[in-house]
Amino acid sequence: HVPVNAMFYSHSKSVSFTMRNDSKEAIQVKVGDKEMTLAPGKPQDLKLEVGDKIVAVNSTTNYAAGTVLAVVSSQLSDTTVVLR
């Protein structure tokens, strides 16, 4: 059995990090149920829950649609994830 207070007070840990697209084309990604476009050369600050997946929505030269680009973990905290 799980204690009742654990069910109501369990919090996922948020992790803040930056993603930067170093390729020459925009990469459309899906984070949870939200989509965003990572423009070439522009950093994007993110704050996501541990376990969230960042998935490529469109195919590019380097990534097929559906490719998991990153899975958020505490190790990403205050880092920059670079897509090439």
Quick one: tokens of 13?
């840990």
Quick one: tokens of 49?
């829950």
3-state secondary structure of 79: coil
Please report the pLDDT score of residue 23 as a whole number. Answer: 94
pLDDT above 90 coverage of the chain, percent: 82
**Nearest CA to 40 among 19, 57, 54, 55?**
19
Residue with tokens 């899975």: 71
Quick one: tokens of 78?
């205050």
pLDDT in tens, 15-37: 999 999 999 999 999 998 899 99
3-state secondary structure of 5: helix
Residue with tokens 């990534």: 63
